């Protein structure tokens, strides 16, 4: 088949520190996958960070798993479905698998000279963009940050919360902006016995509360869902297509934040999307501070028909002073991002810049 595979462990500085309930990020690591065949290059990204705080996967483990266990199947598989079948005996490591699988999708779209979003079955030429606002030093600082993002045109604000940084700050933002689309994300910071604090949020007419309880839980979320008026959205608990089915059957959530990297790539994303669409459960596409490469895959996923809420897909300039793609992803005046017309992910990768940010790389040849 004559394929060449390269993987890069990349570290890029963030514009500003990003804090969630489990910790603070100042620099962002990920693994970039470059798959070349017949002069065409497919790109993927495994957005596992340097620390195992969102997931047990890290950038180091993703690099190792792709190199040692996924590289041969990736070189041999004719399409994403065959690739996932070949790596079925590798348990977990969904982000590593996603980074590899996404490169296959991009390559396939470029072979067919069509945008990736059309190959996926997307139906919209622009996607609604929301923004995720990390935990700030004060309420005043939070209000200033929210104001700046609304001025940029973002269609929805998501506030990161944790015990002690929840009802007061949500109330302050809602008083200042009574009509905006607003939701919160706890990143699994609460326990079921904290339900009175979460119940307090019902009065603020939020779109949803995202992942309030344990990152592996489905059962306690099903109990909490009956206690709250605000819809529950699951993120970390949905690691594969089977989890979306279980969450639906248990009543653990009524919305899913679908992160393609978290569920093993775009094929599994499609399976989850199609299942949720069949049972009337809306989804939206979440982000993991991806570079412009991973962002291209997110934009493609966000064009699917059952994506019913604004997505955590922001402009390149939200996180990075300089991205590694051209053109960088930009927000329109309508608070949307356009699905590109060029083949594949629709942007050119600036390989010189990519190599500048690489801590190390590995090549199949």
Q: Return the structure tokens found at 275.
A: 């299942």
Coil vs helix vs strand at 225? helix
Residues in a beta bridge with 348: 326
Nearest to 298, CA basis, from 330, 344, 266: 266
In DSSP notation, 240-301 reads SHHHHHHHHHHT--SEEEE-TTTTTSHHHHHHHHHHHHHHT--EEE---S--HHHHHHHHHH
- From the candidates 110, 158, 239, 259, which is the catalytic residue? 259
- Token pair 């040849």: residue: 365
Residue 319 is inside which H or E element, if any?
Answer: none
- From the candidates 97, 158, 160, 239, which is the catalytic residue? 160
What is the helix, strand, coil percentage profile of the chain, to 5?
40, 25, 40
Nearest to 239, CA basis, from 228, 251, 247, 230: 247
Q: Is 160 one of the catalytic residues?
A: yes
Side-chain half-sphere CA neighbours of 18 within 13 A: 16
The H-assigned helical ranges of the chain are 59-65, 71-76, 80-86, 94-111, 116-120, 139-152, 167-176, 195-199, 219-227, 241-250, 266-279, 292-302, 351-356
Question: What interhelical angle do 94-111 and 266-279 show, nearest 10?
Answer: 90
Cβ neighbours of residue 58 closer than 8 Å, sequence gap 6 or more:
29, 48, 49, 50, 51, 52
Coil vs helix vs strand at 77? coil
Q: Is 229 one of the catalytic residues?
A: no
Residue 181 to residue 177: CA distance in whole angstroms: 9
Cβ atoms within 10 Å of 202's Cβ, excluding its own: 13
Q: Give catalytic residue positions.
A: 160, 259
């Amino acid at each position: 088949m004559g394929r060449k595979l390269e993987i890069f462990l990349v570290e890029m500085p963030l514009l500003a520190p990003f804090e969630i309930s489990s910790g603070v990020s100042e620099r962002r690591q990920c693994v970039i996958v470059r798959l070349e065949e017949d002069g065409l290059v497919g790109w993927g990204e495994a957005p596992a960070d340097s620390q195992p705080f969102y997931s047990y996967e890290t950038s180091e483990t993703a690099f190792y798993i792709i190199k040692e266990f996924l590289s041969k199947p990736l070189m041999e598989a004719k399409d994403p479905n065959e690739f996932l079948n070949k790596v079925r005996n590798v348990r977990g490591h969904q982000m590593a698998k996603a980074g590899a699988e996404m490169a296959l999708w991009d390559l396939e779209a470029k072979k067919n000279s069509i945008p990736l979003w059309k190959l996926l079955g997307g139906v919209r030429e622009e996607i609604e963009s929301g923004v995720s606002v990390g935990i700030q030093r004060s309420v005043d600082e939070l209000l200033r940050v929210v104001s700046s993002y609304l001025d940029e045109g973002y269609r929805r604000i998501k506030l990161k919360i944790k015990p002690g940084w929840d009802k007061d700050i949500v109330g302050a933002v809602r008083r200042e902006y009574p009509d905006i689309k607003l939701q919160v994300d706890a990143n699994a910071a609460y326990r079921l016995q904290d339900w009175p604090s979460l119940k307090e949020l019902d009065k603020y007419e939020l779109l949803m509360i995202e992942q309030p309880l344990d990152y592996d839980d489905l059962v306690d979320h099903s109990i909490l869902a009956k206690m709250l008026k605000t819809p529950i959205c699951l993120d970390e608990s949905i690691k594969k297509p089977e989890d979306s089915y279980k969450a639906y059957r248990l009543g653990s959530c009524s919305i899913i934040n679908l992160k393609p990297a978290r569920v093993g790539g775009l094929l599994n994303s499609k399976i989850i999307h199609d299942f949720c669409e069949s049972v009337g459960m809306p989804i939206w596409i979440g982000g993991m501070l991806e570079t412009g490469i991973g962002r291209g895959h997110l934009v493609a996923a966000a064009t699917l028909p059952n994506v019913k809420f604004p997505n955590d897909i922001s402009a390149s300039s939200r996180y990075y002073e300089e991205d590694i793609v051209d053109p960088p992803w930009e927000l329109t005046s309508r608070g949307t991002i356009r699905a590109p017309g060029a083949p594949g992910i629709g942007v050119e990768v600036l390989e010189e810049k990519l190599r500048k940010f690489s801590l190390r790389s590995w090549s199949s040849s």
